[in-house]
Amino acid sequence: MSANRRARPAAQPAGAPRRVLIITPARSDEEEDIFQELQGRKDLHILFAATTAEAEKALREHAVSVLIASEEVSTAWVNELLGAMEQIRPGLPLLVLRRRQAEEPSSWTERGVGVLRSPLLPEALGRSVDIVLGLRSVSDGGTPGHGGRTQS
């Protein structure tokens, strides 16, 4: 292992809440609404980072299941995150929130970045996370089960 690469964080125990890392430079009231549903879920543990450096640190220290970049994260920051993810956590799903008319590099599609257009209802982000986690659990050889809603 090279000196620049640290050991990967230990996998989360079965049944433990999945960690979602949200990178957002400045949390606005609108973002609070979007992320509120995720924060209220018992099956998810939400981590926040305000900079790419904080996000890289969290990726090194925690077994993150999905990364979400808010609308305020610039294209340059997303590209920086993609580079860090290739080194630290290859294959980690990345969802990027973008305004309706915003453009993104074609390389994002090639790298499997999911782009969600605003205005975005809070439930839509939760469903997107469910889908990403459900697909990820199946592709990792696990069992599906994060993709559906549970009723109390």
**Residues of the chain with pLDDT > 70: what percent?**
74
Is the pLDDT score of 143 beyond 80? no
Alpha carbon 29 to its chain centroid, in Å, reads 20
**pLDDT digits 0-9 by tens, 72-131:** 999 999 999 999 999 999 999 999 999 988 888 989 988 889 999 988 876 899 999 999
Number of Cα atoms under 13 Å in the Cβ half of residue 115: 18
Q: In the chain, which ranges are E strands?
A: 18-23, 44-49, 64-69, 94-99, 114-118
Q: Whole-angstrom Cα distance, residue 82 to residue 11?
A: 21
Q: Whole-angstrom Cα distance, residue 86 to residue 14?
A: 25
Domains and CATH numbers, the chain: 18-139 (3.40.50.2300)
